[in-house]
Homo-oligomer: A and B are copies of this chain.
Amino acid sequence: MGAQDTLKIGVLISGSGTNLQAIIDAIDEGLNVEIVKVLSSRPDAYGLERAAQAGIPTVSLSKEVYADPDVANAHIAAQFEQAGAEYLVMAGYMRKIGAQVLDAFPNRVINLHPALLPSFPGAHGIQDAYDAGVKVTGVTVHFANAEYDKGPIIAQRSVPILEGEDIDHLEERIHQVEHELYPWVLAHLAAGDITITPDRKVHIANA
């Protein structure tokens, strides 16, 4: 991939797809990325409609497909390889990514976590930070690897928790930061700016 080529990505979703929408909107505004396929772990995910409205091919998997995670993950890897995806972008995907996918896209699966990793990993990053009483939380974009939530960190943005703020208000502000940060990372990925050092540090040129 040259720096001038459009970056082809696959997006994995499970729900409403607001981060998918943020990427679609950024592409409309000139982000040098093409979404070649959207895959949902749930057939009723609203994000599938967002993809269809944007003319993006979709595939949804049922619970039955996931009965054997190895089979499911081999299927997922094959779907994205056939679609020509160079990178996979997890956008609210609530299933675990398996070794078959990580092996097919080594250092090419990107995840977003709604907290400042390594603090508050897991499925409830916003709530856990709120309950812990921290005063600063944030958003992390990182490479996914076998150790969940522990892959090399690409970018982080802090979000202060305001005095007296309720959890809904905090969630809304964190999602806003997500919707800015994910396209920002993809732009640098498309430009060829992002490198990983042997000690798993990520550098972004022209940041």
Contacts and interface: CB of A to CB of B under 8 A. Distances in A.
Interface residues of A, number: 31
A74 interface: no
B118 A116 contact: no
Interface stretch (A31-39, A50-58, A199-207): A199-207
A147 to B, nearest CB: 13
Number of chain copies forming the complex: 2
Given A116-B134, A200-B133, A207 B163 contact: yes
A15 interface: no
Contacts of A155: 135
A141 to B, nearest CB: 9
A124 to B, nearest CB: 15
A172 to B, nearest CB: 19
A138 B158 contact: yes
B133 A202 contact: yes
Interface in A139-164: 140, 152-158, 160, 163-164
A12 interface: no
A132 interface: yes
Interface string A110-140: 0000001111100000000001111110101
Nearest to A207: B163
A122 to B, nearest CB: 13
